[in-house]
Each structure stands twice: as C-alpha cells, then as structure tokens.
Chains A and B, each alone.
Chain A
Amino acid sequence: MDKSQLREAVIDIIKSIAPDEDLNGIDGEKPLREQIDLDSMDFLDIVMELRVRYKVDVPEQDYPALNTLQGTVDYLHPKMGNV
C-alpha cells in the first residue's frame, strides 16, 4: 500500500468506528482527538481493527505515533508498505 492508500485504509477504519463523525476536513498534521470525538475505547478499536484487517501489531509504547492521521500513516508505512 502506498501512503495515500494507507490514509484511505485508516480513514475507513475510523469511519467504521465513528460513522457519525465528519472525516472530510481532517487535517493530517493535527491531533485526531482534537478534530473528532474519539475516546480511549475508540482509539483501542483503531489498533484492534489494524490488527484484524491488516495483521499489523501496534505495541502500547507506539500509541503516541498514532496521534495524528499523518503520524499514523508514516508509522504504518514501513510495516504495511507491501500489504
């Protein structure tokens, strides 16, 4: 997956968890939780969806990398570049 496909994949996951949020105007550089209403349960679901959908494990110490959409994509790219 290239970075734009990865971005789509992450957005798709967030959409499935929070279908009531508008994700169109998301600023990739700003913290996700400042832009949409995601609590810690939702955040853990993103991690679990990544595991189930793409078999990628995000250990707890790496959670800060998932703070922003861009951060998430950058973090996942080396792990999922060839999914």
Chain B
Amino acid sequence: MSGLSAGIRLAHFGKKVAILERHDRVGGLNSYYSLGGYDIDVGLHAVTNYALSRKSPTGALGKILRQLRIRPEELDLSPQKKSRISFPSVTLDFTNDFAYFIEAINEAFPSQKDNFRTLVAKVEKHDPFKTASAPQSTREMLLSIIREPLLVEMLLAPLMYYGNPIENDMDFRQFVIMFKSIYMEGFARPKRGVRQILDLLVERFENKGGELKLNSGVQDIVVKDGKAKGVELYDGTYLPCRSILSSAGRLETIALCPETAPKGKQPKAGVMAFSESVNILDKHPQELGFEHSIIFFSNRDKFRFRRPDEPFEVNDGVICVPDNFEYETPLQTDMVRITNKADHRFWEKINRLQNLPTKKEWHQKSLEAASTVGRHMPDISKNLKFVDIFTPRTVERYTGHIHGAVYGAPVKVWDGVTPVENLFLCGTDQGFLGIIGTMLSGISIANQHLLQ
C-alpha cells in the first residue's frame, strides 16, 4: 500500500514508474485470498483515522485523499458501531466520538479525570510529524501523569496491538500517532474490505500511466559506487532505473544489496508477530450477542506486549467483527476474527505435518481464553462453519517481512534514507504504521526524495 501510494504520486507528476510485486496480487500485509468459497482479507480489521477533516488531530486521512486525488466516497467507508477495551475488572467503550471515550474513562476512573485531561493536552500539543525526537518511553510518561496503572494498561493495549513494533514499551511519538488515529479519529471499514482500497489504488496508479508488474520479485539491487543502477528479478530480467523506493523493510532491502550494509552493529529485526483466526459462523454474530466492532481484551490487569514463549499468547488479543460497522445496508459475512500475539520462533521451526494440528490446538485455546475464560465474547465453538488460521510463518512467507513482524523493525528510519544514495525506504520500516500510516509514508517519502 505504501508502494502503490508512492507510485500514484510519481505517476501523477509524470515520472516513469514501475511497481515490482513478487506476488500474483497486490496488498502485501493487507492482501486478500479466497478459501473454502469465502473471500478473506489478510488484515483489515478497520481503517484508522476516520476523520475526514484535515483539521482533525492527525488530519492523515484527509491529507492522503487529497494527495492521491481520491474523493472520500470512493473509499466507501462505514464508521464503527463501538469498540471495547475489556480487562478482567473494567471495560471501556469507545466510538468515533472522542467525548464518549472521555466520559467512559471518567466513569470508570473518576479519580483520573483531570489526569486524563492532562494527558490529552500533552498528546494534542505533540506534533509527531514534525518533531524528530529521540525515542521516549511511553510507559514512563503515562505513569507520571496517570495514577491508576490499570488505566495505563487499558489505554496501551489497543494502540500497541495496532501499531507498536517494540516489546514492553512504545516510543512516545508512535503512541501519539496511534492515540490520535484510534481514540480521537476512530475506526471505519469499506464494505468490500481491503479490495475496495487496493482496487482503487491500482486503478489510479495504472490510469496515471504507472506500470504494475506482478510476479516480479526483486532478487538483487545492483549498486555501483554507492548508487543503485537497477534491479535484477527472480527470473533474471534486468531493469535499469534512476531511483528506487522500497517497501520491503529495512533489513529486507539491505539483504537485496548486501555489500552496502552499514558497517558495525546491524539493526535488529522486529519480533512482534501475530496469529489470526478467521472464523465463519453459522449465524450472524449479532444473533450470538456480538455488539462491538472491535474488542481489545486481556485476562490480566497487567497487559503484556512482548513476544510470547508459547506458540500463541491467548490471554490477550483483538476480536474483530466486520459485520458490526454502520453500513448503509447490513453486511452478513458472519465472520469473527481473532488476533493473538505469537512466537515466530516456534512457527518457523514447526514441521509440515504438525503445522495444522498445532494450529487447531492453539485455536481452541484462543477461543476458550477469549470466551469461556475471559468472558470478553460469546462462545462460538459450537457455531463454526469454517476456520482459517494464519501464523507468523504465513506472514513471512507471503510478505517477506523477517519473523513475520507486522510492524517491522523496532528502530524506524523516519527520513527514509539508506546508505545507497538513490534508494529510499517507505512503509513499515520508515515508521508510519497501519494502512493509513503506510499510505502517508509512501506519499511523504516520494514527495520528499523524488518529487521536490
């Protein structure tokens, strides 16, 4: 998505541009597939930043739309109903109206009313797109303002799940982006899911004269005297070029031109990986009692965001019900998606024969932990018509991201610059995360380095 967004900008302003995608379809971390007669999105629980006004806290969606010359209605977004943060002793609901969330917090944590207001003021003042600050601990910052550790954990859970590449803590800059994107600007979803967005981006790119080459994996970036000269594809084809934008990830891109790796200590790869089950039920989720669009849950008061030592960490996760958004006409996919953190080391090593039974075993545990144990959702185990489960290994295999780490490496390259003069990074490892983030990333890196 970052690549397509960058490509649209470049093609629009008359550059000759090709997008090389190694798969037979676009989308990467947010692609789609068909299985068992069902159309399934890889990701897409929700599009964040649902506030079209460019005066909204991040203004990101409005910015992207203008930059890509897309009209809002073309995305066909429908807002969420409401979402929930569900912990053992407290639940907090939020909607696309930030005042609703403030009210919920005031009710559940009356002693923290003023402190939360202080936090919001701090977040509002911070412009994460301007300040190039050194990483700053969000936990320390939050605990210095908010006196209820439980509220800190509850605020962090959704933001970490939807956009944190590091373990245990979060860079305050990333926290500010995610806080505004999720709590202040809200969630929405296109009725057709990610295909709506991808089809639109591809159509725009090709109409502006861009060339999309599928099944065109890059084997090597050919570098001479510190400059990229061209790329060699898996099938041996050589394509010369003036400059390259890579959305493959930082280490993944360096691996394509190993001789240019920075000397000394290598940057670390990300380790935060996830599993997801796609559950198709024999009924509409609302008939079973699902009311929320998305539920972020934890069975412990202390939320742990780190690579688990078990195949899945089932005691916290995210439940998404795509049917529960405010569509003009109701949607009935009967789908419930459940995300858990997963240990990529386990799934990388597992042999073929054990893969499926182990997935099934952990899927069972995942359902139990979210329903009968934690009571965050109704028990769906007797209503399953179809289940597909993917693990970090699936993500790595299909997107090339090391460890299947959805949010990439812990240290971001905010300016997109690499040791190779005309090779730039966009997307996940540049630093803006999620669908909207990554589109903004592609746009701003293209603007900064190739257009202005």
Chain A interface (Cβ < 8 Å from any Cβ of B): 16-20, 37, 39, 41-42, 44-45, 48, 51-52
Contact = CB atoms under 8 A, between A and B. Distances in A.
Contacts, number: 26
Nearest to A53: B14
B451 interface: yes
Given A48-B13, A48-B451, A41 B67 contact: yes
B66 A17 contact: yes
Contacts of A41: 63, 66-67, 447
B69 interface: yes
Given A18-B66, A39-B63, A44 B55 contact: no
A37 B451 contact: no
- Mostly helix, strand, loop or mixed at chain B's interface? loop
B452 interface: yes
A45 B65 CA distance: 13
Interface string B57-95: 001000100110101100000000000000000000000
A19 B70 CA distance: 10
B192 interface: no
B66 A42 contact: yes
Contact of B54 (A16, A37, A48, A52): A37
Contact of A44 (B54, B71, B447): B447
B174 to A, nearest CB: 21
Contacts of B72: 20
Contacts of B54: 37, 39
Given A37-B55, A39-B54, A45 B14 contact: no
A41 B452 CA distance: 11
Task: List the 3 closest A-B pairs by CB distance, nearest first.
Answer: A52-B14, A52-B13, A48-B13
Interface string B201-218: 000000000000000000
A4 to B, nearest CB: 26
Given A44-B452, A48-B13, 13 more contacts: A17-B69, A19-B71, A37-B54, A37-B55, A39-B54, A39-B59, A41-B63, A41-B67, A42-B66, A45-B66, A48-B451, A48-B452, A52-B14
